[in-house]
Homo-oligomer: A and B are copies of this chain.
Amino acid sequence: MTQPTAGTFDPHDRALFTDRYELAMLQGYYESGHTPTATFSLYFRDLPAERGYAIAAGLEQVIDYVETLAFDDRALDYLAEEGFDAEFLSYLDAFEFTGEIRALPEGTLVFPNEPLLEVTAPIHEAQLFETFVLNQVGFQTLVATKGARMADVVRRHGDGQDLVDFGSRRAHGTDAGLTAARAAYIGGFDGTSNMLAGERYGIPTYGTMAHSWVQSFESERASFAAFADVYGDDAIYLVDTYDTITGAGRAVTVAADRDVDLGGVRLDSGDLTALSKQVREIVDDASIVVSSGVDEFFLREFFDDDGVASAFGPGTALTTSADAPNSGVVYKLTAVERDGTLAPSMKLSPGKVTYPGQKALHRVERDGQYQYDVLARRDEALEAGAPQLEPIFEDGSLVYTPPELATIRQRASRELEALPERCRHVSEPDPYEVRISDRLKAVTQQTEGEIRDREL
């Protein structure tokens, strides 16, 4: 048996959670004595399908990673076995980040080509972060966005329904289950079924009843009665184990027999919209929780068809971002020190522009609505709009106080409300305008020209 390590991650593990080529690069830089300062940018080339925006998330995990990253003896021994050189390993042994990181705060809207994160440091330091940063920010941003899309449908078409993450069982592993709960909460969810996310992040936890509970008793009625005895007024009965309408009627009867309020019922199969309306007639004003196959497309139809619910429990679609399971964020070198200054840099893959150099990003608002963004060079004096990138690390030190999760969530909510509705449609949204400053365009063109002259 190899070491079974589902989610067993400590700083040791995080140091080795990297692609071999990152360490191969590092050893190469070290042995060549080639360690220029460089800037890497983490950004979307395009948003995933059907997305008019993304919501930044995962910065807090990156901060923790940068602050704790360390190669212990066990890691160094393994790397030695794998053929890395002793001198290089003694460098890793003493690894410390000395650079600068700027970032979009979590909960902020982000559009194509806009830096989620900009790392400027000796190239080997910035390079080392690539695998982890893509892994964490990519996934959390994906789920925060998926969650925000659902929350936004409820906000615009619903009636204040709660959204609760039921997706831990469907998440790709334990880390994903936990951070998906966090990201969905940032995106506007109200709670999670995951107790660990409750403990770690202070997210409210919710849970109802399982089919197995119902099946385990001699009858559905007996199972409801036993549940009422334990949970009283708070009981929410899962009513579709045998027949939803019959089950809803039984929940009413049992609550009356036990002289408790009917907390609510949960619907988990069948035509949920039609059933919700029939069940509303039966259960009066008790809660109705709808929990199977819920995503933003379902929600839009549910409200269009006058479905009735108090809460929704999205699972698979949320935690796997099922219709777009990959964020596509990239971490690219955009500038590198030459002759003492940071020179813009880019690669020339067909159809993939990278805007070179360190960036400024301004968001222009009028009457509470975002009009457009301006992506520019950092050294430009922009007049319009508010700057979006904040300093996180300077000279290797953390200079940022991560906000409370509730604050991040409020930010995401305000951001979405300021985004024009045409950019928030769940299908075929209008793209939000990201203007590229004239100077950035000129530098891009010039850099590309220089590379073509030099390389081709």
Contact = CB atoms under 8 A, between A and B. Distances in A.
Interface of A: 1-10, 13-14, 16-25, 27-29, 31-32, 34, 36, 38, 40, 60-61, 63-65, 75, 78-79, 82, 123, 127, 130-132, 134-136, 138-139, 166, 168-180, 182, 193-196, 198-202, 205-220, 226-227, 229-231, 240-243, 246, 269-270, 316, 320-322, 325-326, 332-333, 336, 338, 345-350, 352, 401-405, 451, 454-456
Given A7-B9, A195-B16, A198-B82, A27 B230 contact: yes
B332 A212 contact: yes
Nearest to A350: B270
Contacts of A220: 455
A243 B316 CA distance: 41
A33 to B, nearest CB: 9
Contact of A17 (B132, B196, B226): B196
A132 B196 CA distance: 12
Contacts of A17: 7, 168, 174, 177-178, 194-196
Nearest to A126: B212
13 contacts: A1-B60, A7-B175, A19-B169, A19-B194, A21-B209, A21-B210, A23-B207, A32-B226, A82-B195, A173-B175, A173-B179, A241-B349, A269-B350
Contacts of A65: 6
Contacts of A352: 269
The 9 A-B residue pairs with the shortest CB-CB distance, nearest first, are A20-B207, A21-B207, A7-B9, A173-B175, A4-B64, A172-B172, A134-B169, A212-B333, A173-B176
A169 B210 CA distance: 35
Given A6-B64, A123-B212, A230-B32, A451 B25 contact: no
B199 A16 contact: yes
Contacts of A127: 210, 212
